[in-house]
A and B are shown apart, each in its own frame.
Chain A
Amino acid sequence: MKVAVAAVALLVAASVAGARPLATPGVSSSSILIGGTVPLTGEAAAAAGVARGADAYFKYVNAKGGVFNRKITYKYLDDGYEPQRTFLDVRQLVQQDGVFAIFNSLGTSNNSAIRGFLNQAGVPQLFVASGASTFGRDYKKYPWTIGFIPTYSGEGKVYARYLLAKRPGAKIAVLYQDDDYGKELVSGLQAGLGAKKSLIVKKVGYDPSASDVRSEVASLKASKAKVFMIFAFGKFAVQAFITANQLGWHPQIVVNDVAAATSLMQLSPPKATEGAISIVFGKDPDAPMWKRDKGMKLFRSIMARYASGQTPNGYYAAGMASAYTLVDTLKKAGKNLTRKSVLTAATHLNEKTNPFVLPGIKVHTTPSFRFPISQVRLERWHNGHWVIFGPLLSAKP
C-alpha cells in the first residue's frame, strides 16, 4: 500500500515538474495555436480559399520544422459571413480554445464585430482580410489590430490619379456595392480627385443581395460618361461588364481589385472587358506571366502537396501571402513568443522577400503606419488576361 502511494506521488511530482504552465495562451514549446474565421458557407463562400491557402502554407512551414521548432496550427471556423457568428466563433477561439492570436479573418463587418472584444482581451487581431482602412487607421483605439491588403480608399486614390493623368476632364460614372466595401472605394476616388471631384457625374449603389444590376448600369449609361468605375463584387461585376457592352456603351472601364480575378473576368465576352484597368499587388495564379516565377512555382507545389484536389485561384495566393508575413512576424517576435512581442514584430515589418506579392513590393509597417501592403501596380486586361504596366504606385489610404 505504501509503495503504491509513493509511486503515485512520484508520478504526480514527475508530471507536474514536466508540465510548464502556459505563460502565453496558445503557445507551448512545440506549438502555436492561431485562430481565424472565414465564410466556408453562404454567399461569400468563394473567398474561403484565403484560409485554405494560408493553412496549406503553414503545413509547408511545419514540414520544414516550424518556427523555432513550434508547429503552427491554424484553426479557422465558418462564420457564414455573418458578424453574429464571427463574434461567437472568436469568443470560442479565445475563451475556449485559448488561441494565441486571431489571423486573417475575412469581412469588414465581421472584423468590426470582433475588434472591440479582441482589443479588450489583449488578443492580437493580425492581418485582417479586409481592405477597410479603419483596421490600420484606428490603432490608437484598437492597438492590437492590424490590416494587410491595400485599403479600398487607397485603391480609389490610385484610380483617381491615373484618370487625372491619362483621362483628364473625362466624365466618370460609378457603380458601387452599397456597403462599406463599395463606399470606401468611392470615397477614395473622390478624395483622390480632389478639386476635380465633380468629374463624377453619376454614382449608383446596388444592394448586395440583389439579383442583377442591369437597371443600374442602364441609368449610368444615360449619364454619357466616358469612364465607368465598377466597384462591385463577384458576379455583379461580370453583369456590369456585360450589360454595358450590350447597351452599346464602351467607356474606359476601371474595375476594383477584388472583383478583377482572372476567373471572373473570363466569364464576360472579350469585347466587354478589353482594355479594362485594375490594380494588383499579388501574383495571380491564372496569369500566364507568372508561369515560370519561382514564387508561383512554390505556390503550386504547396497547393499540390497540402491542398490537393482544390483549385488554386487568387484567394489561395492572397492567403499564402498573408501566411508568409505571419510566419515572418512570428520569427521576428523571437523565441520568447508573447502577444506583446508578436505585436511589436507586426508593427516593425520590413519584409522584401514575400514570394507571393509583386516583385518590389515591401511589406512595411511602423507603430503609426499599420498598412502592411501599400504599394500596387496597374494592370490592363488584354486578350483574355491581365497585363501589368507602369511602375509601383503608392496606395496609401
Chain B
Amino acid sequence: MSRRLALNTAGFVVAALVVAVLPRFISSYHALEWANVGIYFVALLGLNVLTGYSGQVSLGHGAFMAIGGYTSAILIAHHGVHDVWTIPLAGLVAGGAGLGFGLPALRLTGLYLALATFAVAVAFPALARKFERFTGGNAGLVLTLHTNDWLYYLSWSIAGAGLLLGWLVLATPIGRSFRALRDSEVAAISSGISPALYKTLAFGISSFYAGIAGSLVAISTAYVNPQTFPITLSLFLVVGLAVGGLGSLPGSVVGAILIQFLPTYAAHVSKQAPQVIEGAILVGVMLLLPGGAAGLFRLVQSSRQP
C-alpha cells in the first residue's frame, strides 16, 4: 500500500471515530450545528468536483440543492414517502438537472458560466413561488421532525459515504480527465479527452451531491419554502470551497465549518455589525491564504520537509 493511501486511510478512520463519538461530548443543540456542517460538507464535495477538479465555476449551486430539497419535500409532504428514502431520489433528480444544465453550459467558460449560474440561483426562488401547486408556494411544505442526534448521524454517514465515493471516482481515469481539463483544456483535447463528456459529467456528479445535501437540509429543518435556498447560500458554498481549498476533498470540511459557524461567530464579535466582521474575515482569508485551508496544510507540510 502506498504511503499516501495509508495516511489517507488512517486519517479517515481517525476522523470517522471522532465524528462518531462527538455527540456524547457536546450539547444537543451543538449536535444540530455539526449536523449542518456535515450537510454543507456534502454540498462542497460536489462543488469541489465541479470547480476544484474540472475547473468550472458555479455560483448557483444552491439551485441544485433546492431541486433536491424540493424533490424530497414534495415526496414527503404530498406522497407520504418516508424521508430517508427520498434522499437518493433527490440526488438523482438534481443530478439529472445538472446533466441537463451541463450540456448547454459547455458553451460558457469562466466568468460567463459563473454569471449564468448566478442568474439561475437568483431566479430559482421565483420559480418555486410560481409553481405553487407543487411547491406550496410561499407557505412552504412542512415535514416530519427528528431529533438532533439522529440528524447528526444521518448527515455524517452520508458525508462519509460521499467522501469515499468522491475519492473513488477521482482516483479513476475520470478524475484524471477532470484534472487534465482543468489544467489545460487544449492539451487535454489533443490527448483525446472529450471536454463535452467530462465537463457534463462533472456537472452531473456535483449536482447529485448538491441534491442530496438539499434533501438533508429539507429533512433537518422539517420545512421548505422558496427562502430556504437563497442566493446567499450559493455564494457561501463558493466561499466555503475556496476557504477549504480547491481540489482538496477533506479541506471541504473546513469550508463547511466556516459556512456554519462564521455568521454565529461574527454575531458574537459584534452584535451591531456582524456582516462587517464576516466580510472582513472572508477578505482576510482570501488575501492571506489564497489556497485555502488545504493550501495552509500543504505549506505546513512543505515547511517540515528539508
Most buried by A among B28, B129, B223, B267: B223
Considering the complex, which residues of chain A in the window 71-112 have a beta carbon less than 8 Å from any beta carbon of chain B? 77-78, 81-85, 87-88, 91-92, 95-96, 108-109, 112
**Contact between B223 and A87, CB atoms less than 8 A apart:** yes
**Contact between B221 and A95, CB atoms less than 8 A apart:** no
Task: Compute how far the CA of A84 lies from the CA of B263 in the bound complex, rounded to whole angstroms.
Answer: 13
**Contact between B28 and A95, CB atoms less than 8 A apart:** yes
Q: Is B66 part of the binding interface, using a Cβ–Cβ cutoff of 8 Å?
A: no
Q: Is A300 part of the binding interface, using a Cβ–Cβ cutoff of 8 Å?
A: no
Considering the complex, which residues of chain B in the window 263-277 have a beta carbon less than 8 Å from any beta carbon of chain A? 263, 267, 271, 274-275
**Contact between A95 and B225, CB atoms less than 8 A apart:** no
Q: Is A362 part of the binding interface, using a Cβ–Cβ cutoff of 8 Å?
A: no
**Contact between A41 and B227, CB atoms less than 8 A apart:** no
Residues of A within 8 A of B36 (CB): 88
Residues of B within 8 A of A311 (CB): none
Q: Is A178 part of the binding interface, using a Cβ–Cβ cutoff of 8 Å?
A: yes
Residues of A within 8 A of B275 (CB): 41
Considering the complex, which residues of chain A in the window 117-147 have a beta carbon less than 8 Å from any beta carbon of chain B? 117, 120, 134
Output the least CB separation between A237 and chain B (Å): 19
Q: Is A293 part of the binding interface, using a Cβ–Cβ cutoff of 8 Å?
A: no
Task: Compute how far the CA of A189 lies from the CA of B30 in the bound complex, rounded to whole angstroms.
Answer: 45
Task: Compute how far the CA of A349 lies from the CA of B217 in the bound complex, rounded to whole angstroms.
Answer: 39
Considering the complex, which residues of chain A in the window 302-330 have a beta carbon less than 8 Å from any beta carbon of chain B? none
Q: Is A183 part of the binding interface, using a Cβ–Cβ cutoff of 8 Å?
A: yes
Output the least CB separation between B43 and chain A (Å): 14
Considering the complex, which residues of chain B in the window 205-253 have a beta carbon less than 8 Å from any beta carbon of chain A? 217, 221-223, 225, 227-228, 230, 232
Task: Compute how far the CA of A145 lies from the CA of B259 in the bound complex, rounded to whole angstroms.
Answer: 32
**Contact between B221 and A84, CB atoms less than 8 A apart:** yes
Nearest neighbor of B231 in chain A, beta-carbon distance: A209
| Residue from A85, A87, A179, A209 within 8 A of B138 (CB atoms) | A179
B interface footprint on A11-22 (CB within 8 Å = 1, 0 otherwise)? 000000000000
Nearest neighbor of A83 in chain B, beta-carbon distance: B227
Q: Is A113 part of the binding interface, using a Cβ–Cβ cutoff of 8 Å?
A: yes
Output the least CB separation between A122 and chain B (Å): 13
**Contact between A96 and B221, CB atoms less than 8 A apart:** no
**Contact between A112 and B223, CB atoms less than 8 A apart:** yes
CB-CB under 8 A for A95 and B145, given A82-B227, A83-B228, A179-B129: no
| Residue from B29, B125, B140 within 8 A of A112 (CB atoms) | B140
**Contact between B139 and A113, CB atoms less than 8 A apart:** no
CB-CB under 8 A for A83 and B142, given A88-B33, A96-B27: no
Task: Compute how far the CA of A84 lies from the CA of B223 in the bound complex, rounded to whole angstroms.
Answer: 9
**Contact between B139 and A112, CB atoms less than 8 A apart:** yes
Nearest neighbor of A114 in chain B, beta-carbon distance: B223
**Contact between B221 and A113, CB atoms less than 8 A apart:** yes
**Contact between B29 and A95, CB atoms less than 8 A apart:** yes
**Contact between A112 and B274, CB atoms less than 8 A apart:** no
**Contact between A120 and B145, CB atoms less than 8 A apart:** yes
CB-CB under 8 A for A116 and B222, given A41-B275, A109-B227, A180-B138: yes
CB-CB under 8 A for A82 and B230, given A109-B140, A112-B225, A120-B145: yes
Q: Is B32 part of the binding interface, using a Cβ–Cβ cutoff of 8 Å?
A: yes
Q: Is B177 part of the binding interface, using a Cβ–Cβ cutoff of 8 Å?
A: no
**Contact between A117 and B27, CB atoms less than 8 A apart:** no
Nearest neighbor of B33 in chain A, beta-carbon distance: A88
Output the least CB separation between B173 and chain A (Å): 39
A interface footprint on B260-298 (CB within 8 Å = 1, 0 otherwise)? 000100010001001100000000000000000000000
CB-CB under 8 A for A78 and B274, given A84-B221, A88-B32, A96-B27: yes
Residues of B within 8 A of A41 (CB): 274-275
| Residue from A40, A77, A87 within 8 A of B221 (CB atoms) | A87
CB-CB under 8 A for A178 and B267, given A95-B148, A112-B225, A113-B223: no
Considering the complex, which residues of chain B in the window 128-142 have a beta carbon less than 8 Å from any beta carbon of chain A? 129, 137-140, 142
Residues of A within 8 A of B27 (CB): 95-96
Q: Is B16 part of the binding interface, using a Cβ–Cβ cutoff of 8 Å?
A: no
Output the least CB separation between A282 and chain B (Å): 26
Residues of B within 8 A of A40 (CB): 271
Output the least CB separation between B215 and chain A (Å): 15
Nearest neighbor of A119 in chain B, beta-carbon distance: B145
Residues of B within 8 A of A96 (CB): 27, 29-30
Binding site for B on A (CB under 8 A): 40-41, 77-78, 81-85, 87-88, 91-92, 95-96, 108-109, 112-113, 116-117, 120, 134, 178-180, 183, 207, 209
What 5 pairs between A and B have smallest CB-CB spacing? A96-B29, A95-B29, A179-B138, A113-B223, A180-B138
Binding site for A on B (CB under 8 A): 27-30, 32-33, 36, 122, 125-126, 129, 137-140, 142, 145, 148, 217, 221-223, 225, 227-228, 230, 232, 263, 267, 271, 274-275
Please name 7 pairs of A and B residues whose Cβ atoms are closer than 8 Å in the assembled complex, sorted by A. Answer: A91-B148, A95-B27, A95-B32, A113-B140, A116-B222, A180-B139, A209-B125
Given contacts A83-B140, A178-B138, 18 further A-B contacts (CB under 8 A): A78-B267, A83-B221, A83-B227, A83-B228, A84-B217, A88-B33, A88-B36, A91-B29, A95-B27, A95-B148, A96-B27, A108-B138, A109-B140, A112-B142, A113-B223, A116-B145, A180-B138, A207-B126
